[in-house]
Amino acid sequence: MPVQEHRALATRRDVRSAGAPAAGFLRHYRQGRCIYDEGDEAHFFYEVRSGVVRMSSVLQDGRRLVDSFHTEGQLFGLEPARSHTLCAETLSDCNIVSYRWNGVEAKMSTDTMTSNWLFSYAMQTVTTARNHAILLGRKTATERVAAFLMEWVGRSPDPTVIVLAMSRQDIADYLGLTVETISRTFSKLERESLIQMTTSRLIEVRNRSALRRLSA
């Protein structure tokens, strides 16, 4: 039985997404659940309806690389190979729609809507990878953290408040830095009045233009 079939915690039901070529199965996952692991067979791909999903992999030397974070409306898990190359885990309670890849693949050659939908997904994946590469290309830790915060400003319904679902370790593994560097950089940005750390995961943006300049 595929891993995603037994790790969801609610009864699945058919749903239809705007632009999707077929109905998918909506499942609820609690925080900290694995949707699929590295090496699992890639029978499904997924759409986030609510919550935050972390994509990661473990390198040969044991270090973890966080590849991306997915939020509402984003797709993930459509692999070019027969198995998943990343691990997908929930950072919060999530509602996830799963689509069976075989049914979608069979319709691609004859259904323009299906082809366009998957092309949009592919462009989203390319954009996400490009943005992450640009982020890792920042010269300083401050620039990387500022760019990360601006990314989450763009995902937040309130551009003055960022609610982070991920831990400092997640951020460090995403930015290629250490946890200590992440903590020092947050403290530096707070001293300079660019942000205010209400809690470790609730950040008030005090000077968005200065933060944007740092991330440019």
pLDDT digits (tens, 9 = 90+) for 170-213: 999 999 999 999 999 999 999 999 999 999 899 999 999 999 99
78 versus 53: the higher-pLDDT residue is 53
Half-sphere exposure of 183 (CA within 13 A, CB side): 7
Can you tell me the mean pLDDT for 72-94? 91
15 sits in which H/E element: strand 13-15
Cite the residue boundaries of each domain of the chain with CATH code 1.10.10.10. Answer: 139-215
Domain 12-136, CATH among 3.40.50.720, 2.60.120.10, 2.40.50.140, 2.60.40.10:
2.60.120.10
d(CA 169, CA 87): 16
Read off the pTM: 0.85
Q: Which residue's entry shows tokens 């010269």?
A: 139
The model's pLDDT over 101-124, given as tens digits with 9 standing for 90+, comes to 876 666 666 777 777 877 887 888
Q: What is the structure's pLDDT at 54?
A: 98
Mean pLDDT computed over every residue of the chain: 86
Cite the residue boundaries of each domain of the chain with CATH code 2.60.120.10. Answer: 12-136
Those residues with Cβ within 8 angstroms of residue 65's Cβ, 6 or more apart along the chain or in another chain = 56, 57, 58, 59, 173
For residues 53 and 155, the answer to whether their CB atoms sit within 8 Å is: no
The CATH class of the 139-215 domain is mainly alpha
63: which 2 tokens?
């270090």
